[in-house]
A = this chain, B = another copy of it.
């Protein structure tokens, strides 16, 4: 990190003029132990699962969209596919809990822990054992890939409701400050979402008191738990992980509770349009690179941030220094 900061100061530009890109290269040096960490092999881990709470009018879209979108991912027609092609990343699609029997496909990682969660408004989403299993699945997905940098992504109708519940449980923030419109519910839908999160927190109050995994199991989701595993395993490998938006941010918050050192490997890609995302980033101590009012998930924000991360490292390593270029320093 010292080497990266020292080199930033010698490059032919006013000190600090590359703004947040400079601190990013210093952080990347801390993560990887190198001022020129490789970032070529990028993998987006897009995990899909269903949510029992989706039946309660908390989403603008019907629940079958989760499975339909997985098929869209496999055909390359979704936003994350287009983005991954453009930025040069591979997408790993995993069914960690879709409530449908998806046909086998060479690109689909069939790692279902269970078919969707139970509704968080009536009891726990899943058991703690299932949550731990989903985390382990996420870790294994990471171990099975060759990559330099991981990106997180999600698909799951209802998952902004579950994420909001987890965030409220872990931060004690009121649901009104965390629950947003997700895929685009109207005012009534938003009220239903806030109500659902409140009920979920009450119904599962005992589990929430017991600890982080118990909270994740009680009011979270299978793809959220899987992403916790993706983040923890990537951090354990001392590799950077680019965190997508609200759902991934929720997973990052859980990962940070389990292993605080993991935050050192997280790069926040963007500030989501979703209401509670700012509070999550603040608690993680992360400042996002982009602010484009995105609220799509899938890993789209993370993929958009990847070129910025790559170019920051390239600037540090390829720019000439004042000495090399014969440029005068500050007078």
The interface of chain A, by Cβ under 8 A from chain B, is 11-21, 59-62, 64-65, 68-69, 71-72, 75, 77-79, 82-83, 85-87, 182-184, 273, 289-296, 300, 304, 307-308, 310-311, 314-315, 318-320, 324-331
Minimum distance in angstroms from A132 CB to a CB of chain B: 31
B residues in contact with A17, CB < 8 Å: 183-184, 273, 294-296
CA distance A319 to B298 in the complex (A): 13
Question: Are A79 and B14 in contact, with the CB atoms below 8 A?
Answer: no
Given contacts A293-B19, A319-B78, A69 and B304 within 8 Å (CB-CB): no
Given contacts A14-B184, A294-B18, A319 and B79 within 8 Å (CB-CB): yes
Question: Are B296 and A326 in contact, with the CB atoms below 8 A?
Answer: no
B residues in contact with A15, CB < 8 Å: 184
Question: Are A71 and B325 in contact, with the CB atoms below 8 A?
Answer: yes
Minimum distance in angstroms from A60 CB to a CB of chain B: 5
Chain A interface secondary structure, helix, strand, loop or mixed? loop
Question: Are A75 and B320 in contact, with the CB atoms below 8 A?
Answer: yes
Residue of B nearest to A306 (CB): B307
Minimum distance in angstroms from A274 CB to a CB of chain B: 10
CA distance A331 to B189 in the complex (A): 12
Question: Are B292 and A21 in contact, with the CB atoms below 8 A?
Answer: yes
Question: Are B82 and A315 in contact, with the CB atoms below 8 A?
Answer: yes
Question: Are B82 and A314 in contact, with the CB atoms below 8 A?
Answer: yes
Residue of B nearest to A301 (CB): B19
B residues in contact with A315, CB < 8 Å: 79, 82-83
B residues in contact with A325, CB < 8 Å: 68, 71-72, 75, 77-78
Minimum distance in angstroms from A288 CB to a CB of chain B: 9
Question: Are B82 and A318 in contact, with the CB atoms below 8 A?
Answer: yes
CA distance A314 to B86 in the complex (A): 8
B residues in contact with A82, CB < 8 Å: 311, 314-315, 318-319
Partner of A304 from the list B83, B182, B311, B324 (CB cut-off 8 Å) is: B311
Could you show 15 A-B contacts with beta carbons less than 8 Å apart? A12-B72, A14-B182, A18-B294, A18-B300, A60-B330, A62-B328, A62-B331, A68-B326, A71-B325, A72-B327, A77-B319, A82-B315, A86-B311, A184-B330, A290-B308
Partner of A14 from the list B87, B296, B326, B331 (CB cut-off 8 Å) is: B296
